[in-house]
Amino acid sequence: MTVRPELSGLEGLAEGIRAFRDKLATVRATARSRDGLVTATTSGRGELLDLVIDPRVYRHPDSLGLAESVTDAVHRATEQAQREAFALARPFLPPDARRDDTDLDFDPALHQFDRLLGRG
């Protein structure tokens, strides 16, 4: 994702951010819980997209254990997806940006760019 030189600085930046947003929409991460009974898939924005529970959970019914496994799998998948999303956003972030305190929602900036470029 590079900024095209033929565009003005602001236009190029906005185009690059839109390309990032498009790539972010394709990010998927899948992880299993520590006990291997739950598999979760999340998006780059941390949304739960799929959850698979192994039928072996019915051998020893334990609702608290199942809840912990689901939470574990979702957290692992979300962590993985967020690492990938942060790597995609890196070109638009300051060198000292950290994943744990960076908001990757660039829509407010895009709206401001469009306003400054007379598009909205």
Least trusted range by pLDDT, from 54-68, 88-102, 104-118: 104-118
What is the pLDDT at residue 34? Answer: 95
Average pLDDT, integer, range 14-40: 93
Q: Is the pLDDT of residue 1 over 60?
A: no
Domain range summary for the chain, segments of one domain joined by +: 9-116
pLDDT band of residue 120 (cuts 50, 70, 90) is low
What is the pLDDT at residue 118? Answer: 76
Average pLDDT, integer, range 60-72: 95
What is the pLDDT at residue 7? Answer: 53
The burial class, CB within 10 Å (0-12 / 13-18 / 19+), for 29 is buried
pLDDT band of residue 4 (cuts 50, 70, 90) is low
Question: Regarding predicted confidence, which is higher, 20 or 28?
Answer: 28
Q: What is the mean pLDDT of the chain?
A: 86
Q: Which fold, 9-116?
A: Ybab; Chain: A; (3.30.1310)
